[in-house]
Amino acid sequence: MRCSTIVAIALSAIPVAAFAEDPQWGYYQDDEITKGLLQATVVAKDGEQLTFKCEKKGKGQVVAVLFSTRAFAPPRNNYSMRTVIVQVDDGRAMDERWRYFGQTVTAVDMKNERSLTGLIGEMEKGNELHLRVNPENASQYEITFPVAGTREALTRVYESCGDKYPIEAPAP
């Protein structure tokens, strides 16, 4: 988790304008911090970031990390599993279990945890992602991210990480 914190600090130092191409999605890649692996990020109006990345290449290594200046959980050595309510546009709200650790909340598809693929599948359906987070020592609050172009952005991340994008393409 220490590496996630380092990446969060590094990403927060990068101006949003440095994220190229797509107005919704920013991309970051360098040899030292990301080990040459591509990261894709969307930024909420208040500056919180939702980043899709992997720490190493391989199947099942991509994670989604919500970075914030607010604390989601008190400092400790391990994460806690807590609810995040996921909603796209005005669609159905779904309760998911994500990893809360310090100033990050993480969705993964590892072992028995399967929150990432569901998140991506929902994001593809709309333009705005609403995440209602439930910090341990604070009131629940909502963060909204622009997510148009999800498939294109995250396909690039999965390819960089040596994995297959988890959502089948819609039939023509």
What is the rounded (10 degree) CA torsion for 17, 21, 25, 27? -80
171 part of a folded domain = no
Tokens 């991340």 belong to which residue?
157
**Res 6 pLDDT > 70:** no
Q: Which helix (H) or strand (E) holds 7?
A: helix 2-12
Task: Render pLDDT for 55-71 as a digit per residue (tens, 0 to 9).
Answer: 899 999 999 999 999 99
In a domain, 168, yes or no: no
Residue 38 has pLDDT above 90, yes or no: yes
Average pLDDT over residues 147-172: 91
Asked, for residue 88, whether it belongs to a domain, the answer is yes
Q: State percent of the chain over pLDDT 70.
A: 86
74-93: string of b/e by CB count within 10 Å (b at 16+)? eeeeebeebebebbbeeeee
Classify residue 107: in a domain, yes or no.
Answer: yes
The confidence score (pLDDT) of residue 15 equals 39
Token reading at 68: 């914030």
Instruction: Supply the pLDDT for residue 7.
Output: 41
pLDDT class of 18 with cuts at 50, 70, 90:
very low
Instruction: Annotate 30-39 with b (16+ C-beta within 10 A) or e (fewer).
Output: eeebbeebbb
Q: Is residue 30 part of a domain?
A: yes
Q: In whole angstroms, give the CA distance from residue 117 to residue 70.
A: 26
pLDDT in the model for residue 128: 97
The count of structural domains within the chain is 1
Residue 74 lies in a domain: yes
Structural domain that includes position 152: 2-160
